Amino acid sequence: MTRLTKLPEAKEDHIELSILQWLEFSLRIKTVWKNDIKGFYNKTANAYFKNKNPYIRKGISDISFLKDGQFVCIEVKRPSEMKFFIQPMETLKLEFARAKMLKKTTADKYEHAMEQQLFLRQIREQGGIAFFACSADMVKEKLIKQGFKF
């Protein structure tokens, strides 16, 4: 009898790379980039510091691209995280308020989800295409659903 083992879930960085490669090589999109605003590591202090630049937006998407005047933002998540991050904003706000009283790390996760949803909503309100995705296949599906012109 063969025993099946569960494969580990792909890391977010690996999912991002597969999406970036699909956009560049399959769709031939040349104006595609990874938004990396996590902060920086100071070797001398042997510490990680948040970027304090006031023009860095909270919640900015992981991947952005521009094609034929269409601006697209993609927030990449692992498949196991998708359900959490796509909760309705009202639910996130309520859970954030509860979590603030209990545990800071949990509250931070809810706040992060709200910031990301807000950013994506603002892109859509300005005529862009914006969504959460956990694979290149999901990106393709969402682009079609939101009217992207290939």
Element (H, E) at 74: strand 70-76
Q: CB count, 10 Å around CB of 63?
A: 19
pLDDT at 145: 95
pTM: 0.88
Q: How confident is the model over 37-79, as pLDDT tens digits?
A: 777 778 888 887 777 888 888 899 999 999 999 999 999 999 9
| Spatial contact of 99 and 58, defined as CB atoms under 8 Å apart | no
Paired strand residues for 129: 72
6 within domain boundaries: no
117 within domain boundaries: yes
52 within domain boundaries: yes
Residue 147 CA, distance from chain mean position: 20
- What mean pLDDT value characterizes the chain? 92
User: CA 133, 138, 142, 148 torsion: positive or negative?
Assistant: positive
The Cβ-side half-sphere exposure at 137, using a 13 Å CA radius, reads 1
66 within domain boundaries: yes
3 within domain boundaries: no
Residue 98 CA, distance from chain mean position: 24
- Structural domain tally of the chain? 1
pLDDT at 2: 66
Sequential pLDDT tens for the chain (150 residues)? 566 667 789 999 999 999 999 999 999 999 999 998 777 778 888 887 777 888 888 899 999 999 999 999 999 999 999 999 999 999 999 999 999 988 888 899 999 999 999 999 999 999 999 999 999 999 999 999 999 988
CA 34/CA 78 separation, integer angstroms? 16
CA 134/CA 139 separation, integer angstroms? 8
Paired strand residues for 49: 40
The domain in which residue 25 lies consists of 12-145
pLDDT at 150: 87
2 within domain boundaries: no
DSSP 8-class letter at 8: P
CATH number (domain holding residue 110):
3.40.1350
User: CA 134, 139, 142, 146 torsion: positive or negative?
Assistant: positive
